[in-house]
Amino acid sequence: MDSQKEALQRIISTLANKNDEIQNFIDTLNQTLKGVQENSSNILSELDEEFDSLYSILDEVKESMINSIKQEQARKSQELQSQLSQCNNALENSEELLEFATRSLDIKEPEEFSKAARQIKDRVTMASAFRLSLKPKVSDIMTHLMVDFSQERQILQTLKFLPVPKAPEIDPVECLVADNSVTVAWRMPEEDNKIDHFILEYRKTNFDGLPRVKDERCWEIIDNIKGTEYTLSGLKFDSKYMNFRVRACNRAVAGEYSDPVTLETKALNFSLDNSSSHLNLRVEDTCVEWDPTGGKGQESKIKGKENKGRSGTPSPKRTSIGSRPPAVRGSRDRFTGESYTVLGDTAIESGQHYWEVKAQKDCKSYSVGVAYKTLGKFDQLGKTNTSWCIHVNNWLQNTFAAKHNNKVKALDVTVPERIGVFCDFDGGQLSFYDANSKHLLYSFKTKFTQPVLPGFMVWCGGLSLNTGMQVPSAVRTLQKSENGMTGSASSLNNITQ
Protein backbone atom coordinates (compact mmCIF):
# COMPACT_ATOMS: atom_id res chain seq x y z
CA MET A 1 0.00 0.00 0.00
CA ASP A 2 2.75 2.47 0.98
CA SER A 3 4.81 1.66 -2.09
CA GLN A 4 1.76 2.19 -4.29
CA LYS A 5 1.14 5.56 -2.65
CA GLU A 6 4.76 6.57 -3.26
CA ALA A 7 4.50 5.48 -6.88
CA LEU A 8 1.24 7.40 -7.26
CA GLN A 9 2.83 10.49 -5.67
CA ARG A 10 5.67 10.28 -8.19
CA ILE A 11 3.15 10.01 -11.04
CA ILE A 12 1.22 12.99 -9.66
CA SER A 13 4.43 15.00 -9.37
CA THR A 14 5.44 14.07 -12.92
CA LEU A 15 2.00 15.00 -14.28
CA ALA A 16 2.02 18.31 -12.38
CA ASN A 17 5.45 19.18 -13.78
CA LYS A 18 4.39 18.23 -17.29
CA ASN A 19 1.19 20.30 -16.97
CA ASP A 20 3.30 23.21 -15.80
CA GLU A 21 5.59 22.81 -18.82
CA ILE A 22 2.63 22.63 -21.21
CA GLN A 23 0.99 25.69 -19.64
CA ASN A 24 4.25 27.60 -19.94
CA PHE A 25 4.47 26.52 -23.60
CA ILE A 26 0.86 27.65 -24.20
CA ASP A 27 1.73 31.03 -22.66
CA THR A 28 4.77 31.18 -24.95
CA LEU A 29 2.66 30.38 -28.04
CA ASN A 30 0.05 33.02 -27.11
CA GLN A 31 2.78 35.57 -26.48
CA THR A 32 4.43 34.67 -29.80
CA LEU A 33 1.11 34.92 -31.66
CA LYS A 34 0.49 38.33 -30.14
CA GLY A 35 4.02 39.35 -31.07
CA VAL A 36 3.51 38.22 -34.70
CA GLN A 37 0.38 40.37 -35.00
CA GLU A 38 1.93 43.42 -33.37
CA ASN A 39 5.25 43.14 -35.21
CA SER A 40 3.53 42.54 -38.59
CA SER A 41 1.49 45.70 -38.10
CA ASN A 42 4.63 47.63 -37.20
CA ILE A 43 6.54 46.27 -40.18
CA LEU A 44 3.69 47.17 -42.58
CA SER A 45 3.68 50.71 -41.25
CA GLU A 46 7.44 50.92 -41.67
CA LEU A 47 7.16 49.55 -45.23
CA ASP A 48 4.60 52.24 -46.11
CA GLU A 49 6.89 54.88 -44.67
CA GLU A 50 9.88 53.58 -46.66
CA PHE A 51 7.95 53.55 -49.95
CA ASP A 52 6.46 56.96 -49.23
CA SER A 53 10.00 58.16 -48.68
CA LEU A 54 11.04 56.68 -52.06
CA TYR A 55 8.04 58.29 -53.79
CA SER A 56 8.93 61.60 -52.19
CA ILE A 57 12.52 61.37 -53.39
CA LEU A 58 11.40 60.47 -56.93
CA ASP A 59 8.97 63.40 -56.97
CA GLU A 60 11.74 65.74 -55.85
CA VAL A 61 14.14 64.42 -58.50
CA LYS A 62 11.45 64.67 -61.19
CA GLU A 63 10.63 68.25 -60.20
CA SER A 64 14.33 69.15 -60.28
CA MET A 65 14.78 67.63 -63.75
CA ILE A 66 11.65 69.34 -65.10
CA ASN A 67 13.00 72.65 -63.83
CA SER A 68 16.34 72.00 -65.54
CA ILE A 69 14.63 71.29 -68.88
CA LYS A 70 12.45 74.39 -68.61
CA GLN A 71 15.45 76.55 -67.74
CA GLU A 72 17.39 75.22 -70.73
CA GLN A 73 14.37 75.79 -72.99
CA ALA A 74 14.02 79.37 -71.72
CA ARG A 75 17.73 80.08 -72.20
CA LYS A 76 17.82 78.80 -75.77
CA SER A 77 14.56 80.49 -76.64
CA GLN A 78 15.82 83.81 -75.34
CA GLU A 79 19.05 83.51 -77.33
CA LEU A 80 17.22 82.64 -80.54
CA GLN A 81 14.58 85.37 -80.02
CA SER A 82 17.33 87.95 -79.54
CA GLN A 83 19.14 86.75 -82.64
CA LEU A 84 15.86 86.70 -84.61
CA SER A 85 15.04 90.28 -83.58
CA GLN A 86 18.48 91.50 -84.71
CA CYS A 87 18.10 89.76 -88.05
CA ASN A 88 14.66 91.26 -88.67
CA ASN A 89 15.97 94.76 -87.92
CA ALA A 90 18.96 94.21 -90.22
CA LEU A 91 16.73 92.88 -92.99
CA GLU A 92 14.38 95.82 -92.70
CA ASN A 93 17.28 98.29 -92.92
CA SER A 94 18.82 96.38 -95.81
CA GLU A 95 15.57 96.35 -97.78
CA GLU A 96 15.17 100.09 -97.27
CA LEU A 97 18.75 100.66 -98.47
CA LEU A 98 18.10 98.43 -101.49
CA GLU A 99 15.04 100.42 -102.42
CA PHE A 100 16.98 103.71 -102.07
CA ALA A 101 19.80 102.36 -104.22
CA THR A 102 17.33 101.22 -106.90
CA ARG A 103 15.71 104.65 -107.03
CA SER A 104 19.15 106.28 -107.26
CA LEU A 105 19.74 104.56 -110.60
CA ASP A 106 17.09 106.80 -112.12
CA ILE A 107 18.84 110.08 -111.15
CA LYS A 108 19.93 111.97 -114.32
CA GLU A 109 21.87 114.83 -112.72
CA PRO A 110 25.53 113.70 -112.40
CA GLU A 111 26.25 115.68 -109.28
CA GLU A 112 23.14 114.50 -107.50
CA PHE A 113 23.78 110.89 -108.62
CA SER A 114 27.35 111.11 -107.31
CA LYS A 115 26.09 112.33 -103.98
CA ALA A 116 23.49 109.49 -103.73
CA ALA A 117 26.12 106.93 -104.64
CA ARG A 118 28.40 108.11 -101.85
CA GLN A 119 25.51 107.93 -99.33
CA ILE A 120 24.63 104.42 -100.45
CA LYS A 121 28.29 103.35 -100.11
CA ASP A 122 28.55 104.80 -96.60
CA ARG A 123 25.28 103.20 -95.50
CA VAL A 124 26.29 99.81 -96.90
CA THR A 125 29.58 100.05 -95.03
CA MET A 126 27.73 100.70 -91.77
CA ALA A 127 24.80 98.36 -92.40
CA SER A 128 24.15 95.78 -89.59
CA ALA A 129 23.25 93.21 -92.16
CA PHE A 130 26.92 92.88 -93.05
CA ARG A 131 27.97 92.49 -89.39
CA LEU A 132 25.45 89.78 -88.47
CA SER A 133 26.50 86.18 -87.78
CA LEU A 134 24.20 84.01 -89.83
CA LYS A 135 24.80 81.02 -87.57
CA PRO A 136 22.31 80.27 -84.73
CA LYS A 137 23.88 80.90 -81.32
CA VAL A 138 22.19 77.78 -79.88
CA SER A 139 20.92 74.56 -81.37
CA ASP A 140 17.56 72.93 -80.99
CA ILE A 141 19.19 69.78 -79.61
CA MET A 142 17.99 68.86 -76.08
CA THR A 143 19.35 65.33 -75.87
CA HIS A 144 21.79 66.32 -73.12
CA LEU A 145 18.79 66.44 -70.79
CA MET A 146 17.43 63.04 -71.68
CA VAL A 147 17.43 60.31 -69.02
CA ASP A 148 17.87 56.58 -68.92
CA PHE A 149 16.51 54.96 -65.76
CA SER A 150 17.07 51.38 -66.87
CA GLN A 151 19.77 50.86 -64.23
CA GLU A 152 17.65 52.42 -61.53
CA ARG A 153 14.70 50.32 -62.59
CA GLN A 154 16.84 47.23 -62.21
CA ILE A 155 17.84 48.36 -58.74
CA LEU A 156 14.23 48.99 -57.80
CA GLN A 157 13.26 45.60 -59.14
CA THR A 158 15.85 44.01 -56.84
CA LEU A 159 14.37 45.61 -53.72
CA LYS A 160 13.91 42.97 -51.04
CA PHE A 161 13.73 42.55 -47.32
CA LEU A 162 16.86 43.16 -45.26
CA PRO A 163 19.19 40.20 -44.71
CA VAL A 164 18.51 39.23 -41.09
CA PRO A 165 21.36 37.65 -39.08
CA LYS A 166 20.69 34.13 -37.97
CA ALA A 167 20.17 33.35 -34.30
CA PRO A 168 23.40 32.77 -32.35
CA GLU A 169 23.89 29.59 -30.34
CA ILE A 170 24.80 29.88 -26.66
CA ASP A 171 27.24 27.15 -25.62
CA PRO A 172 26.42 26.14 -22.00
CA VAL A 173 29.71 24.25 -21.73
CA GLU A 174 31.67 27.45 -22.38
CA CYS A 175 29.54 29.50 -19.94
CA LEU A 176 31.05 30.02 -16.49
CA VAL A 177 29.42 30.92 -13.18
CA ALA A 178 32.01 31.85 -10.53
CA ASP A 179 32.78 34.58 -8.00
CA ASN A 180 29.37 36.20 -8.44
CA SER A 181 30.12 36.66 -12.12
CA VAL A 182 28.59 34.96 -15.15
CA THR A 183 30.43 34.59 -18.45
CA VAL A 184 28.14 33.80 -21.38
CA ALA A 185 29.70 32.49 -24.61
CA TRP A 186 28.02 31.97 -27.97
CA ARG A 187 28.78 31.34 -31.63
CA MET A 188 27.10 31.91 -34.99
CA PRO A 189 25.76 28.85 -36.83
CA GLU A 190 27.61 30.07 -39.92
CA GLU A 191 30.08 32.85 -40.63
CA ASP A 192 28.50 36.25 -41.20
CA ASN A 193 30.92 39.11 -41.82
CA LYS A 194 28.12 41.67 -41.85
CA ILE A 195 27.41 41.35 -38.13
CA ASP A 196 28.16 44.59 -36.34
CA HIS A 197 27.42 43.70 -32.71
CA PHE A 198 25.40 41.51 -30.35
CA ILE A 199 22.71 42.17 -27.75
CA LEU A 200 22.69 40.07 -24.58
CA GLU A 201 19.58 39.88 -22.41
CA TYR A 202 19.30 38.28 -18.98
CA ARG A 203 16.96 38.02 -16.04
CA LYS A 204 16.85 36.33 -12.68
CA THR A 205 14.35 33.58 -11.96
CA ASN A 206 13.60 30.83 -9.48
CA PHE A 207 12.37 28.44 -12.17
CA ASP A 208 14.56 25.87 -13.87
CA GLY A 209 14.22 25.10 -17.58
CA LEU A 210 12.85 27.34 -20.30
CA PRO A 211 12.11 30.98 -19.40
CA ARG A 212 8.52 31.63 -18.41
CA VAL A 213 6.51 34.20 -20.31
CA LYS A 214 4.78 35.26 -17.10
CA ASP A 215 7.98 35.51 -15.07
CA GLU A 216 7.95 38.21 -12.45
CA ARG A 217 11.16 39.89 -13.64
CA CYS A 218 11.93 41.85 -16.80
CA TRP A 219 14.81 41.20 -19.17
CA GLU A 220 17.91 43.35 -18.60
CA ILE A 221 19.75 44.40 -21.78
CA ILE A 222 23.48 44.68 -22.58
CA ASP A 223 23.86 46.31 -26.01
CA ASN A 224 26.74 46.84 -28.46
CA ILE A 225 28.80 43.76 -27.57
CA LYS A 226 31.51 43.33 -30.19
CA GLY A 227 32.77 39.85 -29.26
CA THR A 228 31.10 36.46 -28.83
CA GLU A 229 31.24 36.36 -25.04
CA TYR A 230 30.41 38.69 -22.21
CA THR A 231 30.99 38.66 -18.45
CA LEU A 232 28.49 40.07 -15.98
CA SER A 233 30.37 40.77 -12.75
CA GLY A 234 29.47 42.02 -9.29
CA LEU A 235 26.12 40.22 -9.30
CA LYS A 236 24.09 39.40 -6.23
CA PHE A 237 22.83 35.85 -6.59
CA ASP A 238 19.44 36.33 -4.95
CA SER A 239 17.69 33.86 -7.25
CA LYS A 240 18.29 30.20 -8.00
CA TYR A 241 18.79 30.68 -11.74
CA MET A 242 19.39 33.23 -14.48
CA ASN A 243 18.02 33.12 -18.03
CA PHE A 244 20.18 34.31 -20.92
CA ARG A 245 19.51 34.95 -24.62
CA VAL A 246 21.45 36.77 -27.32
CA ARG A 247 20.77 38.18 -30.79
CA ALA A 248 23.06 39.33 -33.59
CA CYS A 249 22.73 42.73 -35.31
CA ASN A 250 24.03 44.04 -38.61
CA ARG A 251 24.02 47.77 -39.32
CA ALA A 252 20.36 47.68 -40.27
CA VAL A 253 18.46 45.11 -38.26
CA ALA A 254 18.58 42.74 -35.28
CA GLY A 255 18.15 39.02 -35.84
CA GLU A 256 16.28 36.31 -33.98
CA TYR A 257 17.02 35.50 -30.35
CA SER A 258 19.08 32.46 -29.58
CA ASP A 259 17.48 29.59 -27.74
CA PRO A 260 17.49 30.72 -24.10
CA VAL A 261 19.87 29.13 -21.63
CA THR A 262 19.26 28.81 -17.89
CA LEU A 263 22.29 28.81 -15.58
CA GLU A 264 22.23 27.98 -11.88
CA THR A 265 23.19 30.87 -9.57
CA LYS A 266 22.50 29.44 -6.14
CA ALA A 267 23.92 31.21 -3.11
CA LEU A 268 23.00 31.74 0.53
CA ASN A 269 20.58 34.62 0.93
CA PHE A 270 19.43 35.63 4.35
CA SER A 271 18.21 38.63 6.28
CA LEU A 272 18.54 39.44 9.96
CA ASP A 273 15.80 38.09 12.22
CA ASN A 274 14.39 41.14 13.98
CA SER A 275 11.79 39.03 15.79
CA SER A 276 14.41 37.64 18.19
CA SER A 277 17.10 40.34 18.13
CA HIS A 278 18.03 42.20 21.30
CA LEU A 279 15.85 45.22 21.98
CA ASN A 280 18.91 47.48 21.88
CA LEU A 281 19.53 46.55 18.26
CA ARG A 282 17.81 48.27 15.37
CA VAL A 283 17.53 45.66 12.62
CA GLU A 284 16.68 46.27 8.97
CA ASP A 285 17.05 43.43 6.50
CA THR A 286 20.87 43.18 6.20
CA CYS A 287 21.88 45.97 8.58
CA VAL A 288 22.01 46.08 12.38
CA GLU A 289 22.86 49.09 14.54
CA TRP A 290 23.21 49.60 18.26
CA ASP A 291 20.32 51.58 19.72
CA PRO A 292 20.85 52.47 23.40
CA THR A 293 17.24 53.67 23.72
CA GLY A 294 15.70 50.52 22.28
CA GLY A 295 13.12 48.79 24.54
CA LYS A 296 13.43 51.13 27.52
CA GLY A 297 10.52 50.78 29.86
CA GLN A 298 9.65 47.42 28.35
CA GLU A 299 12.25 45.07 29.81
CA SER A 300 11.15 45.76 33.39
CA LYS A 301 7.58 44.88 32.49
CA ILE A 302 8.70 41.71 30.76
CA LYS A 303 10.91 40.70 33.67
CA GLY A 304 7.99 41.29 36.01
CA LYS A 305 5.86 38.96 33.96
CA GLU A 306 8.62 36.36 33.95
CA ASN A 307 8.95 36.58 37.75
CA LYS A 308 5.24 35.86 38.04
CA GLY A 309 5.82 32.57 36.30
CA ARG A 310 4.53 33.62 32.91
CA SER A 311 6.05 32.38 29.73
CA GLY A 312 9.20 34.15 28.54
CA THR A 313 7.86 34.30 24.98
CA PRO A 314 7.73 37.96 23.87
CA SER A 315 4.24 39.37 23.85
CA PRO A 316 2.85 40.98 20.71
CA LYS A 317 3.27 44.38 22.37
CA ARG A 318 6.91 43.67 23.03
CA THR A 319 7.77 42.49 19.51
CA SER A 320 6.38 45.63 17.93
CA ILE A 321 8.56 48.06 19.89
CA GLY A 322 9.89 50.98 17.86
CA SER A 323 9.59 50.64 14.12
CA ARG A 324 9.86 46.83 14.11
CA PRO A 325 7.07 44.98 12.31
CA PRO A 326 5.23 42.23 14.17
CA ALA A 327 7.29 39.07 14.55
CA VAL A 328 6.61 36.57 11.80
CA ARG A 329 9.39 34.11 12.57
CA GLY A 330 8.98 34.09 16.37
CA SER A 331 10.32 30.58 16.87
CA ARG A 332 12.58 31.60 19.76
CA ASP A 333 12.84 34.08 22.64
CA ARG A 334 14.27 37.50 22.05
CA PHE A 335 17.91 37.97 23.13
CA THR A 336 18.20 40.00 26.29
CA GLY A 337 20.60 41.02 29.04
CA GLU A 338 24.12 41.59 27.70
CA SER A 339 23.61 39.30 24.72
CA TYR A 340 23.36 42.04 22.07
CA THR A 341 22.78 39.41 19.46
CA VAL A 342 20.88 39.03 16.21
CA LEU A 343 20.75 35.86 14.10
CA GLY A 344 20.14 35.27 10.43
CA ASP A 345 16.71 34.07 9.39
CA THR A 346 17.95 31.16 7.24
CA ALA A 347 19.45 27.99 8.68
CA ILE A 348 22.43 26.24 7.11
CA GLU A 349 21.88 22.48 7.02
CA SER A 350 24.35 21.38 4.35
CA GLY A 351 26.79 22.60 1.72
CA GLN A 352 29.37 25.38 1.57
CA HIS A 353 28.34 29.01 1.98
CA TYR A 354 29.91 32.45 2.13
CA TRP A 355 28.89 35.94 3.23
CA GLU A 356 30.65 39.17 4.17
CA VAL A 357 30.33 41.64 7.02
CA LYS A 358 31.44 45.25 7.27
CA ALA A 359 31.51 47.19 10.54
CA GLN A 360 31.00 50.90 10.95
CA LYS A 361 34.29 52.74 11.53
CA ASP A 362 33.33 53.78 15.05
CA CYS A 363 31.95 50.40 16.11
CA LYS A 364 33.34 49.66 19.59
CA SER A 365 32.62 45.95 19.79
CA TYR A 366 31.22 43.27 17.51
CA SER A 367 31.27 39.55 16.81
CA VAL A 368 30.70 37.55 13.65
CA GLY A 369 30.08 33.82 13.47
CA VAL A 370 27.47 31.06 13.58
CA ALA A 371 25.33 29.50 16.26
CA TYR A 372 22.88 26.67 16.76
CA LYS A 373 19.22 27.56 16.99
CA THR A 374 19.38 26.51 20.63
CA LEU A 375 21.60 29.46 21.61
CA GLY A 376 20.05 30.82 24.81
CA LYS A 377 18.57 34.28 25.00
CA PHE A 378 21.17 35.32 27.59
CA ASP A 379 24.08 33.59 25.79
CA GLN A 380 26.78 35.62 24.08
CA LEU A 381 28.41 34.47 20.87
CA GLY A 382 31.53 32.37 21.51
CA LYS A 383 30.81 31.87 25.22
CA THR A 384 28.97 28.58 24.77
CA ASN A 385 29.60 25.34 22.96
CA THR A 386 26.72 26.20 20.60
CA SER A 387 28.40 29.18 18.91
CA TRP A 388 31.65 30.04 17.12
CA CYS A 389 32.83 33.55 16.25
CA ILE A 390 35.62 36.05 15.92
CA HIS A 391 35.33 39.10 18.15
CA VAL A 392 36.61 42.65 17.61
CA ASN A 393 36.93 45.00 20.58
CA ASN A 394 37.84 48.67 20.07
CA TRP A 395 36.81 49.81 23.56
CA LEU A 396 39.57 50.77 26.06
CA GLN A 397 41.94 48.28 24.44
CA ASN A 398 41.99 46.85 20.96
CA THR A 399 41.66 43.08 20.73
CA PHE A 400 40.92 40.64 17.93
CA ALA A 401 40.18 37.06 18.92
CA ALA A 402 38.49 33.80 18.00
CA LYS A 403 35.93 32.51 20.53
CA HIS A 404 34.18 29.22 21.21
CA ASN A 405 32.87 27.55 24.37
CA ASN A 406 34.07 30.47 26.53
CA LYS A 407 37.63 29.99 25.26
CA VAL A 408 39.58 32.73 23.50
CA LYS A 409 42.49 32.73 21.06
CA ALA A 410 44.04 36.11 20.29
CA LEU A 411 44.63 36.75 16.59
CA ASP A 412 47.83 38.52 15.68
CA VAL A 413 46.51 40.00 12.45
CA THR A 414 45.06 43.35 11.45
CA VAL A 415 41.28 43.62 11.55
CA PRO A 416 40.20 43.91 7.89
CA GLU A 417 37.70 46.41 6.54
CA ARG A 418 35.38 43.55 5.53
CA ILE A 419 35.29 40.05 6.96
CA GLY A 420 34.40 37.08 4.79
CA VAL A 421 32.74 34.11 6.50
CA PHE A 422 33.02 30.62 4.98
CA CYS A 423 30.90 27.82 6.42
CA ASP A 424 31.37 24.25 5.23
CA PHE A 425 28.59 22.50 7.13
CA ASP A 426 29.30 18.97 5.89
CA GLY A 427 33.05 19.40 6.32
CA GLY A 428 32.63 20.92 9.79
CA GLN A 429 34.64 24.03 9.01
CA LEU A 430 34.08 27.69 9.79
CA SER A 431 36.72 30.07 8.39
CA PHE A 432 37.13 33.84 8.43
CA TYR A 433 38.93 35.80 5.73
CA ASP A 434 39.99 39.28 4.84
CA ALA A 435 37.28 39.81 2.22
CA ASN A 436 39.54 41.99 0.06
CA SER A 437 42.79 39.99 0.04
CA LYS A 438 41.19 36.58 0.88
CA HIS A 439 43.90 36.14 3.53
CA LEU A 440 42.84 33.55 6.13
CA LEU A 441 42.23 35.08 9.57
CA TYR A 442 41.16 32.01 11.50
CA SER A 443 39.55 28.63 10.97
CA PHE A 444 37.45 26.46 13.30
CA LYS A 445 37.33 22.71 12.70
CA THR A 446 34.40 20.94 14.32
CA LYS A 447 31.43 18.72 13.63
CA PHE A 448 28.11 20.49 13.34
CA THR A 449 25.38 18.35 14.90
CA GLN A 450 22.53 20.79 14.24
CA PRO A 451 21.66 23.39 11.61
CA VAL A 452 23.50 26.65 12.24
CA LEU A 453 22.43 30.26 11.81
CA PRO A 454 24.67 33.21 10.94
CA GLY A 455 25.15 35.15 14.18
CA PHE A 456 26.17 38.72 14.99
CA MET A 457 26.79 40.76 18.12
CA VAL A 458 27.18 44.53 18.04
CA TRP A 459 27.64 47.18 20.71
CA CYS A 460 28.00 50.91 20.09
CA GLY A 461 28.12 50.79 16.32
CA GLY A 462 26.67 48.86 13.44
CA LEU A 463 27.19 46.08 10.91
CA SER A 464 26.11 45.64 7.29
CA LEU A 465 25.95 42.30 5.49
CA ASN A 466 26.52 41.22 1.93
CA THR A 467 24.68 38.00 1.12
CA GLY A 468 23.78 36.21 -2.10
CA MET A 469 27.48 35.46 -2.67
CA GLN A 470 29.11 32.36 -4.07
CA VAL A 471 32.11 30.92 -2.31
CA PRO A 472 34.99 32.83 -3.99
CA SER A 473 37.38 30.75 -6.08
CA ALA A 474 40.31 32.01 -3.98
CA VAL A 475 38.61 30.76 -0.81
CA ARG A 476 37.93 27.35 -2.36
CA THR A 477 41.59 27.09 -3.32
CA LEU A 478 42.75 28.17 0.13
CA GLN A 479 40.41 25.69 1.80
CA LYS A 480 42.11 22.81 0.03
CA SER A 481 45.50 23.91 1.33
CA GLU A 482 44.39 25.15 4.76
CA ASN A 483 42.41 22.10 5.87
CA GLY A 484 45.48 20.69 7.55
CA MET A 485 46.31 23.84 9.50
CA THR A 486 46.06 24.11 13.26
CA GLY A 487 43.90 26.79 14.81
CA SER A 488 40.74 24.73 15.07
CA ALA A 489 38.13 24.84 17.78
CA SER A 490 40.02 22.14 19.67
CA SER A 491 42.97 24.51 20.05
CA LEU A 492 40.77 26.77 22.19
CA ASN A 493 40.05 24.11 24.76
CA ASN A 494 43.11 24.86 26.88
CA ILE A 495 42.88 28.66 26.64
CA THR A 496 40.59 30.29 29.16
CA GLN A 497 39.13 33.70 28.80
pLDDT, tens digit (0-9, with 9 covering 90-100), for 244-256: 999 999 988 899 9
How many C-alpha atoms does 424 have within 13 Å on its Cβ side?
A: 15
Question: Whole-angstrom Cα distance, residue 427 to residue 425?
Answer: 5
pLDDT digits (tens, 9 = 90+) for 273-330: 999 999 999 999 999 999 998 766 444 444 444 444 443 333 333 333 233 344 344 4
- From the CB of residue 16, how many other CB atoms can be counted at a distance below 10 Å? 10
Give the pTM.
Answer: 0.65
Among 208-212, 326-330, 337-341, the minimum mean pLDDT is found in 326-330
Say which CATH architecture domain 169-264 belongs to: Sandwich (2.60)
Q: Report d(CA 188, CA 391) in Å as an integer.
A: 54
pLDDT at 129: 78
When mean pLDDT is compared over 171-185, 288-302, 467-481, the highest value belongs to 171-185
Question: Under a CB-based contact definition with an 8 Å cutoff, are residues 380 and 408 in contact?
Answer: no
Strand partners, 257: 247
Q: Structural domain boundaries of the chain? A: 7-157, 169-264, 273-293+333-481
Least confident of 5-9, 401-405, 417-421, 481-485: 481-485
What mean pLDDT is reported for the chain? 86
213-218: long-range contacts, CB 8 A cutoff, minimum separation 24: 213/24, 213/27, 213/28, 213/30, 213/31, 214/27, 215/243
State the helix-helix crossing angle for 2-104 and 110-126, rounded to 10 degrees. Answer: 170
What is the C-alpha separation between 209 and 259, in angstroms, rounded?
12
pLDDT score of 51 more than 50: yes
Beta bridge partners of 248: 198
Q: What is the mean pLDDT of residues 136-150?
A: 89
Give me the percent of the chain exceeding a pLDDT of 90. Answer: 58
The answer to whether residues 197 and 247 touch, using CB atoms and an 8 Å cutoff, is no
CATH ID of 273-293+333-481, from 2.40.10.10, 3.40.50.970, 2.60.120.920, 3.30.310.50? 2.60.120.920
pLDDT computed for residue 354 by the predictor: 97
Max avg pLDDT among 8-12, 95-99, 180-184, 479-483: 180-184
